[in-house]
Chain A
Amino acid sequence: MERSRKISQTLFAVAANSYWSFLWKSPIFKGWSKRICCPGLNCYSCPAAVMACPIGGLQNFLASFRINLKLAEMQFGAYILGTLALIGSFVGRMPCGWLCPFGFVQEFLYRIPTPKISVGRWTRVGPYIFLGLFVIILPILVVDATGYGATWFCKYICPAGTVEAGLPLLGLHPELRRAAGWLFVNKLVVLVVILVWCVVTSRAFCRAICPLGAIYGLFNRISFLRLNFDQSKCVNCKACKTICPTSISFYNGEDQINSTACIRCMRCYSMCPVSAVSFSLGLYAGDLTNNEQQAGKAAGEKAA
């Protein structure tokens, strides 16, 4: 399964950035597929990007929300939220583990042999702070004289934008280098800090910052896809916690297996030596978990 995941991540990263004609044709892709939200974090200002970044798009809609209200246009990002909710309803945060190009970069960085640092559970609140403050509140509330807000997360934080769009644009268009000032220095510093952090901490950006993961994470507990843990089979080997990129500790009851922090990489499912972790898609909670099956059997035997 881990091999399938790597193939999925690679194929999606290539497919989401497959416009290589930017070198001799238009500097940015303008095809129909830019109407579609990318399920992962992938900057749409990247010259090779063929889909729209949901976080960038959402900020843009919210930044022009007040103007749209005055113009009686009901555009507040329903299309983007609907797309994310549709994906989340089926698989929860699975795109983070299987599709996101920036998640793929983080996993690659974490392979660099250095001493590793774990982060506390308190960092899990980070994505919700960034989502609430930088993606929703500031773009709506802080507006210029014309009534438009700014895309705060893209402008000051997003490392994917700096890697995929900022640096390539400055490299390809020397005339833009004069425009790059302190704002870009800030973005570079943020980028370096996050990349170094990703070398020493597994999926650091996903765990502490990513607002897209925060949105998907809300669906982990209610999605059709569910992970199940059979406590009776568990031998407390801690393989699930050791292998988990976000250090979720469900074997001892500290976390729920469908925690908002879970990126659904399915490593725990693959690695569990006693198959205590299972997954399934379904409408019934009772027919999914092994514990419930046993309880049902017992109830049935009693009734018979």
Chain B
Amino acid sequence: MFGSREHSERGEHRITLTLASSLASVDQVEQTAEHLAAEAGIDEDARFGITMAVREAAANAVFHGNKGNSAKHITASFENTGTSLIFCIADEGEGLDPDTLPDPLAPENLMRGSGRGIFLIRSFMDEVHFRRLEPGTEMTLIKRFTPEANTGTNTGNQETKR
């Protein structure tokens, strides 16, 4: 694992980890997100959604993006801006087009054993962005919070594609 922690002048901080394509890395990304959210004072209900979304993004990067290839890595960065938590998860895979993903709520897909990860990410985060890399995909997840009164309520989903 290669990691770094960068502090800004405003006291906010950003952590960047480069990790192997493994289940242990997925767990580590989840735990780091949990720690950052707890440090930000976010309540348990909201943390549950945040850590699940970030875990799903990491699992997607490892097992769908990099297809578990141990020669490839994922990069995960975690940032608290004071009003938002921003998570960027990047893989080195062939690229993901989120517009082509089947709707897991459609009756014909409801009984599928997979395909709910991106849907859950979108459900729990305020913004989700996808960016094509050469090679790979970067997913940016943003959760806004009010430092004085954190709640688990999503203020609305917004998705844009960069």
Do A and B associate with each other? no
